[in-house]
Structure 1
Amino acid sequence: MADAAKITCPNPNCQAPNPETNRFCQQCGTPVPKRYLWAVGFGKEGYKPGQILAQRYAVKRDRILLDTKPGFTPSFPQDITDAIAPYLRLFPYRLQVPQVYGLLPPHKKNQKEAILLLEQAPILGDRKSSLPNLMPKLGAAWKNATGMRQLNWLWQIAQLWQPFKNAGVATSLLSDELLRVEGPLVRLLELRQDREEPTLSDLGQMWLQWVKEAKPAIAGFLEQLCQQTIQGEVFPEELVAQLDRALFTIGRSQSGTYQIATSTDTGPTRLRNEDACYPSSESFSKIPTGGQALAVVCDGIGGHEGGNVASNLAIETVVAQAQGWQNEPLLLESSNLNALAELEHTVCEANDRISELNDIEGRYDRQRMGTTLVMAAARAHEIYIAHIGDSRVYWITRTGCHQVTLDDDIASREVRLGYALYREALQQLGSGSLVQALGMSSSKSLHPTVQRFVIDEDCIFLLCSDGLSDNDRVEQYWDTEILPVLEGKLDLPTAAANLIEIGNSQNGHDNVTVALVYCRVTGGESTSITSETSSVAELLWTGSTVSPQSETPHPLKTRLLPTQLQKPSLLPLLGGIALLLVLGGALAYLALGKWGDSPILNPAQSPEPKPHSPSLESPVKSSASVPSLSPGSVILVRSSSPKNSAIPKVPLLLYEAPQKQTALGMVPENSVLEIKSKALIEQDRWLKLKLCSIPSAISSDRLPGTYNLIKPSQEGWIRQADLEPYIRQNSIQDSAGLPKCNPGSTSTPLVAPN
């Protein structure tokens, strides 16, 4: 066991040493933070617990360090390296992703690189003990979790997949060592850069190993979902949607009740209160099962005239909009995108009302009144959080307190843009200045953040203005002032009053407002799918909806997506062509009086009918018209610059990466390509293609002097919607049974042209 370290008081006028177990400085009473850090690239040096590195960091155990001088800024990198950049790009996901705290400079002769120190890593520190531990691995905790929680964990990973791929660290989600859990939360120990491009198939393979220990209610669903994922039949957004459906089905057996307590105070130094809240201050309400909870906190922009008018107008607008939600299953149904869009619309509506009043009164620049806003809307097993500005929302469980919103200030913007570490950005002048708030401009330039969380255990969401959150007061007092509510030792209104007192006594520079939303969960622990709901597997997503208001004794059973691609049959197509020929002949006979007068239908002159294939004049407009495009499939493309067409010649181009303007070249006509992988980027589906073969004679009729031709074995990206019009119908085949994609082939294509 590591010896307890002495932590220097962060108060610059004190700096007295304190035992590691002290919550407050024994000399001046200042809160003493216990900041555990995870060291990346550290561990081979053979350091022993108890050692102090760089005269500051105490080694507690392998790769876990304690900052003994939390009041001093750490060492920052001179440049943002490739190892640091992904942490900054994923800053909006810091609920699950740790952040770079600083560097541990090289302090040994053979040490070439500095060590990254990560804060907010999944390290469980006990205030009563001096020995921290890593939180459990997801794989180790899986067996003892409820079906609801198992789905919740996978749902979080599915949501992280695309952002992680864009940042080049999706491999991190495939490591059992890095995936840790803290109650309902999935948390990453560190980020690992991709050496090879991981696919959803790899994710499905990893999940499949957990299926055998999944709860019976969801095991069948998960097994089929994993098989679909392994075979490349789902996109990331479809994976999230299917897990959404399963969560919705399981969640119906879980009952949720809510309590809300609010309080606001002018504070010891302000002349008026520019904060506002809903429900009204000093109120306490209980929402029964099936009801919807709504809480809002607004903070009028300090120093701006009419801040109290703006905050109250925002509350009024949000509450009026919320009246329309009461009788709708908006926050219950599994079409969650509608709920997210509705909340965003509500925030924009409040912004426009304040902006309009500013314009009417002729307020410009700093004379404009404005406000921050945080709101929480909860029902059943879900809670939605919307925010803009620097008022915050914290999620408190029995194991921890987590800030779930990201301040809309200059410091956060610097991090998101990849310019600086967060601790470094906070040192800059004006780092706390807001970059957006309600009422400052039109909603066209507003970007509110809307998040959704699944509730599978008792917890509390704290909404507060910066009069409380400044100086980390929530992090310092959550376990003494909010945790007792979850333990049944304190009532919610008393907790709210205590937080107001902390804001006034420990900060005291601003108005203070809090709203506590206490989520209480019952049932769902042993949710087995009853005879009425059959199995979760029957609710796999195919585009239909299941609304709680349209339930019947025999609920809608959505067809499971096929586990294998089926080759399209030519019989219906040929039958349709034959029917058209017969009808056409009959019409021609009536119009011309005899068959032979029609040159089209004269047996001696008419060519053999060919199966119809899409043309550029009538392109395929949706993926529903084309067989499924899955990794491993081989396709034949038609001419990319057609002759005798009224449509201008448009080359079929492959690009280095999705959304990049750098074209590798043009795909030759009648080429055979293999689909390597798929990606969803900002609602566009992209395919990575490899050119397998090209015809022996390549037409020179192409855009001269503009693009080179793609050569065999080259790979590139194309938007799926751009590719579909060029695909020869019935040419899509699974690669099984076909010759392998030959990098050197330049002759006969794998699939004969139509």
Structure 2
Amino acid sequence: MHSLEATLYCANSLCQAPNPMSHRFCQQCRSPLPKRYLWAVGKEVISLRPGELLAERYWCKEGQIFLDTKPGLLPETLPELPEAVEPYLRLIACLPHVPQVYALVPFGSKRSPEVLLLEGAPIYPPGGSGSAISAESEGTLMPDLPTAWKHGNGLQQLHWFWQLARLWKPLHYERVASSLLNPALLRVEGSLIRLLELHNDHHALSPTLADLGELWQRWIPDACSDLTDFLTSLCHKLKAGQITTSEHLVAVLDQAIATYSQSFTRQIQIATFTDQGPTRQRNEDACFPPSGSALVFPPNLELAAGENLPLVVVCDGIGGHEGGNIASNLAIATIQQRLQKVSASTPPESDTFITELEQATLAANDVISQRNDVEHRHERQRMGTTLVMAVARAHELYITHVGDSRAYRVTPLGCHQITLDDDLATREVRLGYALYHEALRQPSSGSLVQALGMNASTMLHPTVERFVLDEDCIFLLCSDGLSDNDRVEEYWQTILLPVLEGKTDLAKAAQQWVAIANEQNGHDNVTIGLVYCRVFPNPASFSSPVLASSLATLPDVEQASTVLSASLSASTPLSSTLKTHNLKPLERSRPRTASLLLGLLLIVGVGGFVTAFLLRGFSFLTGEVTNTPPPEPAVSVPVPPTLSPSPNAAANSFAVGSRMLVNRSTPAGETAPIVLLPNPSSLADTTRSSVPIGSVLEVVSLRRTGLDQPWLGVKVCSLAQPSPANQSAIPQRIAQPGEQGWVPESAIAPFVTVNVSLTQAQLGACGNERRVSREGTPQ
């Protein structure tokens, strides 16, 4: 079938009337007409002419770009997903950088029996009134990075490289890192890097950071003059093998971005609004600042002593008849109190700040859990809440998330969800079991797997992500009273583009969102938090020669280290000490959620088994945001190329509470193969301790943020002293029993055996009690 203009069928299941492609609303029922442009993987589809239909549904616009003409129907899939789909599913936490598989359509070609159609590909969406997207651009590919590079400012260029560096590790683990070396696949939406599709790495030759340096070097002639010396030195070190980990690369770019950001001024505005909705008797949502607030902060957050950083919190209460509103307000009060001590005038390092945000979240969980226990709340009477919060600091904004309240990032070119719901549907995708739209149709797909107050903090995994502020943007935080039924995707251009264009104010936009939620959804409470960041060049604040000079020398970061987004100290423990009971999950008081917290019960039931796989799927947030055969880890941890892997390394399961015996040396014969970092907030920290062969360690915490892979917080149970001859060859001090520190999972895996039989003497400082933190492994 061939048509020069597509016919769109209404997504309303009670209507499904045909409409011309040019219409935005159904001419029969006035429902919005979603236009989902998809990217078809594989050159075989080029045989289709523009206007032809694939599978009697997907209209070919041109080349490999298709439009779904029946968006109200479930996309096609296959009984068994092919291997090519798995990397997309396991990298769902890398949205919006990595597209997702929308449908699998039979094609009939021997070379490609099915076609992968990708959603979230870098294709311009329809432009609304006043949009920066022209009618001619709709449905076309966004520019590739080499093209955009020539027109970007220095901060954008550093930010693009920073995003590529952060994507390197998760893509490398899925053996698709070569996608980052193909300029045609690297597309740009303003300051955002977006991949067109994923390409598998060649088995014989795995891509390296040296290859990345080779690619980046090609673009130096078109870089901003301030960055030429810095980028030249950076690429040289990459090619020479002096930067061997993506964490090292990210740390270097972090420093450059912090320096270059001084040549820009930022102004932050926030607005909040909450409403109980037309069908509810009370409002179980809550927000901070209080509903109706509209605040403007000084440029570059130059706050007076005692003033707090811009903070927006949205909570959606859970807990039957009377508990949800209590839990929401308890969470906000606790978080506000915990973060008041964070001074704007002396901001901490980003990793320490992330720890502060996590600690505030865990403290809120403890307060609600303790209230449940004191009031003897059980079963469905146990109260809890979701959480999504934003904190602006220096040139970055941090998003913390638990549950299914959401955050979106909006610019004139697009609107992207930047948090993943902590529900069963997302977990299924992270584990590689199902496509997202298919998972949503499964029973209890919306059941939460975690929320504040429902279990001990040892079982809570808050996600924290940070965003570089290098362009005008709005962060929308909301409860599912708004996000249900894709209302944000439908109306972001109508409500938020006028704010970005200066035609309306932020407070009015917050009220408009509430009206949309009540009129178009109306089944629940609704809460909105908006953070508007405006970015202005400020050349006078930092002269170009000084800037170039400050970036000319790369920071001296040891290659063996990686960035650890937390600090381990006695004054700030990583785990909660509050004892709570693991009770059955509660029902969220809304019509759609009769089994909303079924996921919590499932997680408790399968214990550390599911938890381990859940965490493997988190990248960040990352993560870092996941049935028949036994599940495999969502991310397989590779062994560093210089090490000889242990036969047991692949089988090691590093759940919290597990114990391990250090029983292998490095190929070079080093007898203390493991190095613990006591305070990894500084890569240059030389206060390290070594763990000799024969020592026993216990995992007390497991940590990841954003796109990073797991780090283990470990405790030394007992120590096997090396011989005097070998001891003198160990460069760091030797760890002592009871000492705690951090080590990357990939760095420790080749040298240990997990959960071996240990004597009482070997247990040493760990004793008989298994202490757990964050992972929820039963005591």
TM-score tier by shorter-chain length is 0.7 to 0.9
What per-residue deviation string (whole Å, max 9, x for no partner) do you get for residues 404-449 of structure 1? Answer: 0000011001111111110110010111111100000111110011
Asked whether 1:140 is paired with 2:147, we answer: yes
Specify the alignment match of 2:457 in structure 1: 443
CA 15–219 in structure 1, closer or farther in 2 if over 3 Å, else same: same
CA deviation map 1:223-252 (0-9, x unaligned): 111111111122211100000000000112
Distance change (3 Å), C-alpha of 1:313 and 1:205: same
Say if 1:396 and 1:402, in contact at 8 Å, map to a contact too. yes
Asked if 1:296 is matched to 2:306, the reply is: no
CA 1:722–1:656 in structure 2 vs 1: closer, same or farther (change >3 Å)? closer
Q: 1:152 to 1:657 in 2, by over 3 A?
A: farther
CA distance in structure 1 between the partners assigned to 2:88 and 2:432 by the alignment: 9
Kindly tell me the number of residue pairs found equivalent between the two proteins: 577
Deviation at 1:290, TM superposition (A): 3.3
Report the CA distance shift for 1:166/1:525 in structure 2 as closer, same or farther (over 3 A).
farther
Give secondary structure in 2 for the equivalent of 1:325: coil
Q: 1:45 to 1:225 in 2, by over 3 A?
A: closer
Alignment-derived partner of residue 91 in structure 1: 92
- Kindly provide the CA deviation profile for residues 470-504 of structure 1, in whole angstroms up to 9, marking residues without a partner as x: 00000000001111100111111111111100000
Say if 1:81 and 1:213 are closer, same or farther in 2 by CA, change over 3 A.
same
Matched, 1:453 2:467: yes
Matching of residue 310 in structure 1 with residue 330 in structure 2: no
Q: CA deviation at 1:202?
A: 0.8
Q: Whole-Å Cα distance in 2 between the matches of residues 109 and 417 of structure 1? A: 29
User: Deviation string for 1:620-662 (max 9, x for gaps)?
Assistant: xxxxxxxxxxx999xxxxxxxxxxxxxxxxxx96347965569
Residue aligned with 2:388, SS: strand
Report how far residue 110 of structure 1 moved: 5.4
Aligned equivalent of 2:580: none
Partner Cα distance (1:669, 1:395) in 2: 47
Contact 1:217–1:528 (8 Å) recurs in 2 = no
Which residue pairs with 1:322 in the alignment?
339
Task: Report the alpha carbon displacement of residue 528 of structure 1 after superposing the two structures with TM.
Answer: 4.8
Distance 1:45 1:385 in 2: 41
Q: Per-residue displacement from partner, 1:363-406 (whole Å, max 9, x unpaired)?
A: 12322100001000013321000010111101000100010000
- Identical aligned residues as a percent: 52
Correspondence list, 1:474-489, <5 A: 474-489=488-503
Aligned to 1:371: 385
Q: Which residue of 2 aligns with 1:507?
A: 521
The one-letter amino acid paired with 2:122 is P
Measure, in 2, the Cα distance between the counterparts of 1:668 and 1:721: 12
Cα drift, residue 666 of structure 1: 9.0
Secondary structure at 1:428 match in 2: coil
Q: By how many angstroms is 1:55 displaced?
A: 1.1
Task: Provide the rounded CA distance (Å) in 2 between the counterparts of 1:367 and 1:632.
Answer: 53
Q: CA deviation at 1:80?
A: 2.5
Closer, same or farther in 2 for the Cα pair 1:660/1:719, shift >3 Å? farther
The aligned residue for residue 197 of structure 2 is 190
Contact persistence 1:658–1:681 (CA under 8 A): no
What residue number does 1:104 align with? 105
Over 3 Å counting, the alpha-carbon distance change for 1:532 and 1:6 in structure 2 is closer
For residue 4 of structure 1, report the CA deviation from its aligned partner: 2.1
- Residue 76 of structure 2 is aligned to residue 75 of structure 1: yes
Q: What residue ranges of structure 2 are gaps of 5+ in the alignment?
A: 129-134, 302-308, 562-639, 654-662, 671-707, 713-744, 753-779
Which of 164, 187, 209 in structure 2 is aligned with 1:200?
209
Q: Report the equivalent of 1:618.
A: none
Q: Is the 8 A contact 1:278 1:297 kept in 2?
A: yes
From the superposition, tell whether residues 669 and 176 of structure 1 become closer, same or farther in structure 2 (CA, over 3 Å).
closer
TM-aligned CA distance change 1:177 to 1:306, over 3 Å:
same
Asked if the contact 1:241–1:541 (Cα under 8 Å) also holds between the matched residues in 2, the reply is no
C-alpha RMSD of matched pairs (Å): 3.0
Once residues 351 and 747 of structure 2 are traced to their aligned partners in structure 1, the CA distance between those partners, rounded to angstroms, is: 23
1:553-564 matches, cutoff 5 A: none
CA contact (8 A) 2:260 2:547 kept: no
The verdict on how the C-alpha distance between 1:409 and 1:632 changes in structure 2, with shifts beyond 3 A counting, is: closer
Q: CA separation of 1:400/1:112 partners in 2, compared to 1, >3 Å: closer, same or farther? A: closer
Distance 1:667-1:432 versus aligned 2 partners, 3 A rule? closer
Output the amino acid matched with 2:76: S
**2:282 is the alignment partner of 1:275:** no
Instruction: Select which of 405, 418, 423 maps to 2:432.
Output: 418
Shift of 1:42: 4.1
Q: Is the 8 A contact 1:653 1:667 kept in 2?
A: no
| Counterpart check, 1:237 vs 2:265 | no
Higher relative contact order (CA 8 A, sep 6+): 2
Q: Which residue of 2 aligns with 1:346?
A: 360
Deviation (angstroms), 1:113: 1.0
Match of 1:594 in 2: none
Distance 1:78 1:525, change over 3 A: farther
The answer to whether the Cα contact below 8 Å between 2:269 and 2:296 also exists between their aligned partners in 1 is yes
For residues 534 and 294 of structure 2, the distance between their equivalents in structure 1, rounded to whole angstroms, comes to 15
SS of residue matched to 2:398: strand
Contact 2:311 2:392 in 1 (8 A): yes
TM-superposed deviation, 1:327: 4.2
Letter in 2 for 1:243: L
Corresponding residue of 1:17? 18
**SS of aligned partner of 2:83:** coil
Amino acid at match of 1:398: P
Task: Using the TM superposition, give the Cα deviation of residue 212 of structure 1 relative to its aligned residue in structure 2, in angstroms.
Answer: 1.7
Distance 1:318 1:190, change over 3 A: same
How much has 1:211 moved relative to structure 2? Answer: 1.4
Supply the distance in 1 between the matched residues of 2:373 and 2:366 (Cα, whole angstroms): 10
In structure 1, what is the Cα distance between the partners aligned to 2:87 and 2:30?
38
* Corresponding residue to 1:468 among 467, 482, 491: 482
Shift, 1:53, TM fit: 1.6
Distance 1:666 1:190, change over 3 A: same
Matched, 1:210 2:225: no
Report the more deviating stretch, 92-101 or 16-25: 16-25
Alignment match, 2:235:
226
For 2:617, the equivalent position in structure 1 comes to none
Partner of 2:183: 176
Q: Describe the SS at the equivalent of 1:408.
A: coil
Match of 1:600 in 2: none
Going from structure 1 to structure 2, the CA distance change for 1:422 and 1:668 (only over 3 Å counts) comes to: closer
Alignment of 1:583-662 (within 5 A): 654-655=645-646, 659-660=650-651
Structure showing greater radius of gyration is 1
Q: Name the counterpart of 2:710.
A: 682
Q: Could you report, residue by residue, the CA deviation over 1:288-310 in whole angstroms, capped at 9, with x for unpaired residues?
A: 12323111110102636410000
Residue equivalent to 1:639: none
- Determine the C-alpha separation between the residues in 2 that align with 1:525 and 1:96: 30
What SS does the aligned partner of 1:18 have? strand
Which 5+ residue runs of structure 1 have no aligned equivalent?
545-630, 634-651, 673-679, 685-716, 725-754
Question: What is the aligned partner in structure 1 of residue 606 from structure 2?
Answer: none
1:564 — aligned with what? none
Q: TM-score, normalised by structure 1?
A: 0.72
Q: Distance in 1 between matches of 2:750 and 2:25?
A: 63
Q: Check the 8 A contact 1:43/1:63 in 2, yes or no.
A: no
Amino acid at match of 1:136: P
* Residues 721 and 307 of structure 1: CA distance in aligned 2, closer, same or farther (over 3 Å): closer
Task: Tell me how far 1:125 sits from its aligned partner.
Answer: 2.7
**AA at the equivalent of 2:498:** P
Kept after mapping to 2: 8 A contact 1:377/1:385:
yes
Query: Residue type of the partner of 2:324?
Result: G
2:59 match = 58
CA distance in 1 between partners of 2:214 and 2:75 (Å): 41
- C-alpha displacement at 1:531, in angstroms? 3.5
CA contact (8 A) 1:262 1:516 kept: yes
Q: Is the 8 A contact 2:649 2:750 kept in 1?
A: no
Change (3 A) 1:6 1:246: same
Pair 1:538-2:573 in alignment: no
Instruction: Report the Cα offset of residue 719 of structure 1.
Output: 4.7
Quote the offset at 1:344 in angstroms.
1.1
| Contact map agreement 1:252 1:380 (CA 8 A) in 2 | no
